[in-house]
Structure 1
Amino acid sequence: MLSNSETFQPSNSKTLQPFHSLNCNGRLVELDTPKIMGILNLTPDSFSDGGKFNSEKSALEHAEKLLKDGSEIIDIGPQSTRPNAEFLSSKEEIDRIGNMISLIKKEFPEALISLDTFYAETVKFGFNEGIDMINDISGGQYDDKMFDAAGETKLPYILMHVNPSYETMHDKVKFEDITLEVNRYFSKKTNELLEKGVRDITLDPGFGFGKTVEDQMKMIGETEYLGFGKFPLLIGISRKSFIYKPLGKSPMDINEETQKLHWKVLEQGAKILRVHDVAEAAVTIRQFCEKNKKC
């Protein structure tokens, strides 16, 4: 096992940024400029926007707004994963999605569609409907067929760090060293995915899932060390409680604080920001690129 000093030798992230791209159904998406993944929840019970976009009309209108505001990826979520949310089966997810994927693809062919699910059967349904990537919050732990489905479809796969069962998803764990723990997990899971034939892997450290406020702030400060630069990083901190609760604010009132944290992770090589507030994130990325001449 590597010691801390052996594991975290800096790669001078201020001058050396790894090149990454994703092959989305034959469409090469280069990540030299950070991308925005806009959130489209089809749920009645998501923590900050539940019930707003669970009709065809409202979902299409929101998809259009996400794209106009600067999102290149739309992340469709049929099931809420907030604490105490309603648990759905794959069939219920598929019923809830209906024909939204194909509708969005028809209406907005330029959009990349990510499907937020931990079920292999939902992935297969989404693949047939035209999704471009898989966003699995479970790291293949809540459905043992998920990695097989990712390998069969050849879709880019987003691997998130999370507790090992649905029931313990939000149980707070205080890790001895959160960055070491997340990297051990990423190392094991990426090897499993590569063995299944998955080549386009993006890493998500799992903000908001079973981690203390202190550990999440540590991950913000050590983003450059997560995944060792081998795979692109997705950061999803939008409206997360580790930001708003210590401030005594609501999820809707932390945009300024969130953009400051977005800037920090962009400085350390983050390639995708998963957000609710796309226009604000787009300004942050534009200003970051202008100032640093990195993208």
Structure 2
Amino acid sequence: MQNTINIRGKLLNLSTPKVMGILNVTPDSFSDGGKFNNEKNALLQVEKMIAEGADILDVGAQSTKPNAQKISAKEEIVRFGKIISQIKKEFPESIISLDTFYSEVVKFGFDEGIDIVNDISAGQYDENLLKTVAETGLPYILMHSNSAYEIMHEKQIDNDIILEINKFFSAKILELNQFGIVDIIADPGFGFGKTIDQQFQMLDELQHIAFEKLPILVGISRKSFIYKSLGKTPLEIGEETDKLHLKALEKGARILRVHDVKNAKRTIFEYSDNVQDTVL
């Protein structure tokens, strides 16, 4: 498995799992909309996440919850403002992942100092996205998703979910390589167009996703397949999420994308201790 990615000439080693802390600069995200959509609050949240052990900061300006209102690239850029450049100024060693599916926003983010492109669309929502990512030379997070924003939450897969994800990844990895994109992280797309049963199967068989060739990112934090199956709210499933994060790590996840950095970091320590005990 590829365990390092090249970020602007520096290698990030993923042999030890990493925590990606979520920073939503949106007014309408499903669990924290409006909390961090100004520079001051965003920087305070970044400081908190870094103090708790975040290895990567994932910054996004577009809500992708069900029935969200799609905004333009221009509006995303307005929402970001100077937040990215200010994070880099205040925390110069931070690694920033930009959550967008717009090529224009990738160009903006690159100039502001981003380090990774996190694209929920797999290049399907903007025909210039992959070309633009290739031009930046940045690592790319490839997520399994439906073919258009408007149907991203439609449950369209009747066949085996692992087989379908791998077929999708196989074709997309070839396309990315043709563009010259070689530093790729695979995200199976929890919360996007899968049934509850399919998502639990994805966790059970995570080790088979992307043919064990690419580092896997798991984004299950506050996702509905967990809290709806338990009859709880997104903020009431911390303990259950920790257990599922540990399972994901045991199945090979290299990055946990989370709202609660402190708990995820503790889970990684627990996983590492278990691995060490097994080796001994």
Shorter-chain TM-score range: over 0.9
Q: Is the 8 A contact 2:25 2:36 kept in 1?
A: yes
Partners of 1:252 and 1:292 in 2: CA distance:
30
- Structure 2 residue aligned with 1:77: 60
Q: CA shift at 1:265, angstroms? A: 1.1
Matched, 1:102 2:79: no
Report 1:54-203 matches (<5 A). Answer: 54-203=37-186
Residue identity (%): 58
Match in the other structure for 1:265: 248
Which is worse superposed, 24-33 or 236-245? 24-33
Q: Does 1:275 align with 2:269?
A: no
Q: 1:142 is paired with a residue of what secondary structure?
A: coil
Measured in 1, the distance between the counterparts of 2:82 and 2:145 equals: 30
Asked whether the 8 Å contact 1:39–1:76 carries over to 2, the reply is yes
Shift in Å, 1:19: 4.8
- Which amino acid counterpart does residue 34 of structure 1 have in structure 2? P
Partner Cα distance (2:142, 2:2) in 1 = 19
CA RMSD of aligned residues (A): 1.1
Q: TM-score, normalised to structure 2's length?
A: 0.97
State the secondary structure of the residue aligned to 2:192: coil
The runs of 5 or more residues in structure 1 that have no matched partner are 1-17
Contact 1:173 1:212 in 2 (8 A): no
Distance 2:134 2:14 in 1: 22
Which runs of 4 or more aligned residues in structure 1 lie more than 4 Å from their structure 2 counterparts after TM superposition? Answer: none
Q: Deviations over 1:48-87 (max 9, x none)?
A: 0000000111000000111111101000001101011121
Structure 2 contact 2–213 (Cα < 8 Å) conserved: no
Offset, 1:268: 1.3
The offset of 1:112, in angstroms, is 0.2
TM-score (ref. length: structure 1): 0.93
8 Å Cα contact 1:40/1:53 also seen in 2: yes
Equivalent residue in structure 2 for 1:44, among 18, 27, 36 = 27
Residue 233 (structure 2) pairs with residue 289 (structure 1): no
- Structure 2 Cα separation of the partners of residues 19 and 196 of structure 1: 19
**How many residues are matched?**
278
Shift of 1:175: 2.5
Q: Which amino acid aligns with 1:27?
A: K
